[in-house]
Chain A
């Protein structure tokens, strides 16, 4: 007993204050929200488009547009561009309520808005989610799991990952939805009682990610179930996922300030 207590004291309190307090520590090399300086883009140059593995970049008359729902945040477009048009910032806030909201370039990322008042009354202080991996590579899954550790302590927001869809208010889905998981995902969704939410985490669950175009998959959760929140990344940083969930519940306001 005594060594356990001594070790407990030595391991200290580790839960981050997020979203309150100082901004969280983000690794300086994290590739977060990209910014596009379209004025520098050379007409006719398509090098960023050509190197992008999941075809996330297209060229419009207002310069490059990036679909963060496809983007792997690999950064290959940055050195490919001769004019430094694209740069990745350390901004980890990326989640959006709509598929279109994930496009940047010519428009800003549309950060997730809160649920309506009725849904917030239902889920705002108690949200139970069932996770379904439908072809995920275990990176998104791992960084969802990490939210339940003492560092992020998801349960302090009333959010819990539960063992059965029958106990859940919604699903948190990873992976491109493989053909072999399509039915299981559908059944899990049907087993979840109404009203319910769906959160798609990672490029695969939003668009198929690097597997887009493969006949073995269905280009993400939206092909099978309606999606309420899209969290981009490959995989998203745990803070990106948490930030998205808290925005959905109206616990972080649109301007980035914390609401009570």
Chain B
């Protein structure tokens, strides 16, 4: 039998040479076959491999066996797009086109996603002149025609304290036919600067590529580096990372429930949750001095330990804060005027969710029973489990309710882990990284699946580094949730996803 892919588990490094480079048609058939048998596309990216070609790498993940499959194919400047047979590839192929000047022919909506020049000199997927300024979000938009159809454009600068993005609505009266989301304003060129690392900036790029997911991305990177160095962090360090990751989830979920309340004008819950979010952040600050967990997660372990009194302080804070969150959120569920705005609003059909491979709580709110912490356990989640929370309605209510279910489970997890932290050294020195290797590191961040893929060269440095933030996967979910909704429900739909602009733009 011909090997068509390589297999690995989460954070298991393999030699790049083990991944067979298939002819494109075999690659396409293999990818389609895997997806139809229940795998999900976790990453699709390209790396230049010669003057004329780039190598496509696909990573698929299969929950039932906790297996990651890797396949590759070399493609020239133009190739028949994968998206028509694999819709989940749509955003990845736009990214590949923009980064490497490779044109996936037949892609249904091939536009830039970040608005930067191609990384390969002289090659541009849209034949734009080299050196010409690229204006962000100046591009074609899908337009609905008709006498009373109108277009609403919002952003990049929004009304709240929020990151920039551009939203284009096609409306008939209040009704939204279609929403198109264009991003790229936050593009800081991070992925490109990771090549040649790890170096003194690497961990700080991870902490700031989506600042509200500091622990999630820093953990994903450190697990990848540790796997390539062949040395795990101690159990104690892994447990503290898990505690910090759940605190990050608690803070963000709590803040989001408050924000969802403010968008329907229900002020009690919003006022309390705004404060309580800060109390979870302050618990992270007790651990490491930073409300966002900056400086905690380091390659080889963590930078801060907890003695019994600090541990008790953190436990007490989580318990007290959780109790107040429960009180604040109960009000919301018992407020018919708030529930009327959430129920049946912004519904993502399950079939759409599956086809586009949405991730994280947005997918679990469509009934998808998938969570990296259980399905691809790495780090401390191999030893301590968090039950997976799902709801089946796919609407704003479901995304709010799954947050509340996850808050309950994360709070319990944090309390349990702090009660019995394993022993171990805080941080271990790491040797050189395995050369010519690839590792996939998955972490269930508070928004969903974080996927990092690190490839080393013969010198053991990063030859390529791919970051897939959950927002990269889920922005299309928000766009589709708006179909046939009222434009006035956009804020509440948007908050129910609360996606990252910078995590997408990198």
Q: Residues on A close to B: CB < 8 A?
A: 3-4, 7-8, 10-11, 14, 27-31, 50-54, 72-76, 130-146, 148-151, 161, 163-165, 175-176, 178-181, 183-184, 188, 204, 209-211, 214-217, 234-235, 237-238
A27 touches B285 (CB 8 A): yes
24 interchain pairs (CB within 8 A)? A4-B268, A4-B331, A10-B327, A11-B324, A11-B327, A27-B282, A30-B289, A53-B204, A131-B160, A134-B164, A135-B502, A138-B212, A139-B208, A141-B163, A142-B292, A150-B274, A151-B278, A161-B161, A163-B160, A165-B157, A180-B185, A181-B136, A214-B188, A217-B188
B274 touches A139 (CB 8 A): no
**CB nearest neighbor in B for A14:** B275
Whole-angstrom distance from the CB of A124 to the nearest CB of chain B? Answer: 23
A138 touches B211 (CB 8 A): yes
Interface readout for B266-306 with A: 1 if CB under 8 Å, 0 if not? Answer: 00100110110110001001111111101100000001100
A135 touches B274 (CB 8 A): no
Interface readout for B217-258 with A: 1 if CB under 8 Å, 0 if not? Answer: 000000000000000000000000000000000000001000
Whole-angstrom distance from the CB of A172 to the nearest CB of chain B? Answer: 8
Does B209 make an interface contact (CB < 8 A)?
A: yes
B187 touches A178 (CB 8 A): yes
**What number of B residues sit within 8 Å (CB to CB) of A?**
61
Q: How far does the alpha carbon of A238 sit from the alpha carbon of B277 in the complex, in Å?
A: 13
Whole-angstrom distance from the CB of B348 to the nearest CB of chain A? Answer: 23
CB contact between A151 and one of B208, B275, B289 (< 8 Å): that residue? B275
Question: Which residues of chain A are near B290, meaning CB under 8 Å?
Answer: 30-31, 73
Apart from the given pairs A30-B285, A216-B188, 14 other A-B contacts in the complex at a CB distance below 8 Å: A4-B268, A10-B324, A10-B327, A27-B285, A132-B157, A132-B164, A135-B188, A136-B186, A138-B500, A139-B214, A178-B188, A204-B208, A209-B208, A211-B208
Whole-angstrom distance from the CB of B43 to the nearest CB of chain A? Answer: 22
Question: Which residues of chain B are near A161, meaning CB under 8 Å?
Answer: 160-161
A137 touches B184 (CB 8 A): no
Does B382 make an interface contact (CB < 8 A)?
A: no
**CB nearest neighbor in B for A234:** B294
**CB nearest neighbor in B for A237:** B291
Query: Contacts A163-B159, A181-B156, A184-B185: A210 and B204 contacting too (C-beta < 8 A)?
Result: yes
Query: Contacts A134-B164, A214-B188: A29 and B159 contacting too (C-beta < 8 A)?
Result: no
Q: How far does the alpha carbon of A138 sit from the alpha carbon of B501 in the complex, in Å?
A: 9
Question: Which residues of chain A are near B189, meaning CB under 8 Å?
Answer: 211, 214-217
Q: Residues on B close to A: CB < 8 A?
A: 114-116, 135-136, 156-157, 159-164, 184-190, 193, 200-201, 204-205, 208-212, 214, 255, 268, 271-272, 274-275, 277-278, 282, 285-292, 294-295, 303-304, 324, 327-328, 330-331, 334, 500-502
Whole-angstrom distance from the CB of B257 to the nearest CB of chain A? Answer: 14
Question: Which residues of chain B are near A164, meaning CB under 8 Å?
Answer: 159
Question: Which residues of chain B are near A163, meaning CB under 8 Å?
Answer: 159-160
Query: Contacts A27-B282, A176-B188, A180-B186: A141 and B204 contacting too (C-beta < 8 A)?
Result: no
**CB nearest neighbor in B for A27:** B285
- CB contacts between A and B, total, < 8 Å: 183
B285 touches A136 (CB 8 A): no
Q: How far does the alpha carbon of A74 sit from the alpha carbon of B304 in the complex, in Å?
A: 12
Q: How far does the alpha carbon of A74 sit from the alpha carbon of B207 in the complex, in Å?
A: 11
B278 touches A149 (CB 8 A): yes
CB contact between A142 and one of B114, B135, B136, B211 (< 8 Å): that residue? B211
Question: Which residues of chain B are near A216, meaning CB under 8 Å?
Answer: 116, 187-189
CB contact between A144 and one of B136, B161, B287 (< 8 Å): that residue? B161
B331 touches A31 (CB 8 A): no
A141 touches B162 (CB 8 A): yes
Q: How far does the alpha carbon of A176 sit from the alpha carbon of B114 in the complex, in Å?
A: 17
Q: How far does the alpha carbon of A103 sit from the alpha carbon of B162 in the complex, in Å?
A: 30
CB contact between B291 and one of A7, A134, A143, A215 (< 8 Å): that residue? A143
**CB nearest neighbor in B for A212:** B201
Whole-angstrom distance from the CB of B321 to the nearest CB of chain A? Answer: 12
CB contact between B200 and one of A51, A165, A176 (< 8 Å): that residue? A51
Q: How far does the alpha carbon of A178 sit from the alpha carbon of B156 in the complex, in Å?
A: 13
Question: Which residues of chain A are near B327, meaning CB under 8 Å?
Answer: 7, 10-11
A180 touches B115 (CB 8 A): yes
Question: Which residues of chain B are near A151, meaning CB under 8 Å?
Answer: 274-275, 278
Q: How far does the alpha carbon of A209 sit from the alpha carbon of B201 in the complex, in Å?
A: 11
A136 touches B163 (CB 8 A): yes
Q: How far does the alpha carbon of A216 sit from the alpha carbon of B163 in the complex, in Å?
A: 17
Q: What are the 5 A-B residue pairs with the smallest beta carbon separation, nearest first?
A: A137-B211, A139-B211, A29-B289, A163-B159, A149-B274
**CB nearest neighbor in B for A214:** B189
Question: Which residues of chain B are near A146, meaning CB under 8 Å?
Answer: 274, 277-278
B328 touches A181 (CB 8 A): no
Question: Which residues of chain A are near B268, meaning CB under 8 Å?
Answer: 4, 7-8
Question: Which residues of chain B are near A215, meaning CB under 8 Å?
Answer: 189
Question: Which residues of chain A are near B500, meaning CB under 8 Å?
Answer: 138
Identify which of B136, B161, B277, B290 gathers the most chain A CB atoms within 10 Å of its CB: B161
CB contact between A138 and one of B188, B304, B502 (< 8 Å): that residue? B502
Question: Which residues of chain A are near B210, meaning CB under 8 Å?
Answer: 137-138
A7 touches B331 (CB 8 A): yes
B161 touches A131 (CB 8 A): yes
Question: Which residues of chain A are near B294, meaning CB under 8 Å?
Answer: 72-74, 139, 234
**CB nearest neighbor in A for B292:** A139
Whole-angstrom distance from the CB of B85 to the nearest CB of chain A? Answer: 32
Q: How far does the alpha carbon of A150 sit from the alpha carbon of B186 in the complex, in Å?
A: 30
Question: Which residues of chain A are near B272, meaning CB under 8 Å?
Answer: 7, 11
A210 touches B205 (CB 8 A): yes
Query: Contacts A134-B164, A142-B212: A27 and B289 contacting too (C-beta < 8 A)?
Result: yes
A234 touches B208 (CB 8 A): yes
Question: Which residues of chain A are near B292, meaning CB under 8 Å?
Answer: 139, 142, 235
Question: Which residues of chain B are near A181, meaning CB under 8 Å?
Answer: 136, 156, 164, 185-186
Identify which of B116, B162, B290, B501 gathers the most chain A CB atoms within 10 Å of its CB: B290
B204 touches A72 (CB 8 A): yes
Q: How far does the alpha carbon of A151 sit from the alpha carbon of B160 in the complex, in Å?
A: 19
Whole-angstrom distance from the CB of A16 to the nearest CB of chain B? Answer: 11
Whole-angstrom distance from the CB of B267 to the nearest CB of chain A? Answer: 10
Query: Contacts A27-B282, A144-B161: A178 and B211 contacting too (C-beta < 8 A)?
Result: no
